[in-house]
Structure 1
């Protein structure tokens, strides 16, 4: 009998303002330092994906969100280069309370607003692929699995 599949769940918050999204520069974490990603983190035990997104936004950029202000923009099944699978939930918000500030300077070198159609080259690959899918209007994608392109379709290109 095969073992039941288990996955890490990531939550991302795409704060949208004036056609741009907020990105954070990762620093001193040991993963993707110097690269950009939206406020995000891992789901904690007993937490819903909505509660996780609200918590991460508060912890990382000091804003207050409600569940009504979040909409699910995308879900991605990602596999990293070590073969570890994870599920990422990307939530979008155009309204929130407070002004985004860097609340974790020990893990974040700074904040910047970026055009989601022209993300900086140093955006985390998993994040950039999901944002591209969101901009194309796709609600689901697969990333990092052999033989599958970012849209979740079989890649016949070889």
Structure 2
């Protein structure tokens, strides 16, 4: 059995402050992974030769049509979906409160809607590892894990 590690970048566009902070999410549709779930409005795999930072900016442009995204690093998450951790993911999460252009659906075959939601009241269903990530925004954690039977505490 071989081990594989799949890298991805996520961008959470935020507006407001304190308890009024909202996040822009997309309703996934027609995708093999978590169709019918709410997720980051912009996210995707890091391509060969690309940094996680560059992937985040590319995904924001490709999926939302926004540029000049003022990315702020939030944390990294290592996750798995199997009891035997042979297929793991490493995800880099970024937030942004400034960008150029109005966010819009650029890939209607993969996205049924985009909407702003209060961080304190996420829609159901939200992709589970993303719901956890969103709950950790502002926590100061730099490293998270998700999917193991005994999760580690945020570090």
* Band the TM-score falls in, shorter-chain normalisation: 0.7 to 0.9
Structure 1: give runs of 5+ residues left out of the alignment.
Answer: 154-158
Who is 1:145 aligned against? Answer: 148
Query: Which of the numbers 49, 62, 70 marks the counterpart of 1:59?
Result: 62
Shift of 1:27: 0.5
Who is 1:89 aligned against? Answer: 92
Who is 1:75 aligned against? Answer: 76
Structure 2: give runs of 5+ residues left out of the alignment.
Answer: none
Name the SS for the 1:50 alignment partner.
Answer: helix
- Larger RCO: Structure 1 or Structure 2 (Cα < 8 Å, ≥ 6 residues apart)? 2
Who is 1:156 aligned against? Answer: none
Which structure carries more strand by proportion? 2
1:98-109 matches, cutoff 5 A: 98-109=101-112
Question: Alignment RMSD, CA only?
Answer: 1.9
Query: Which of the numbers 20, 23, 43 marks the counterpart of 1:21?
Result: 23
In the superposition, the TM-score normalised over structure 2's length comes to 0.88
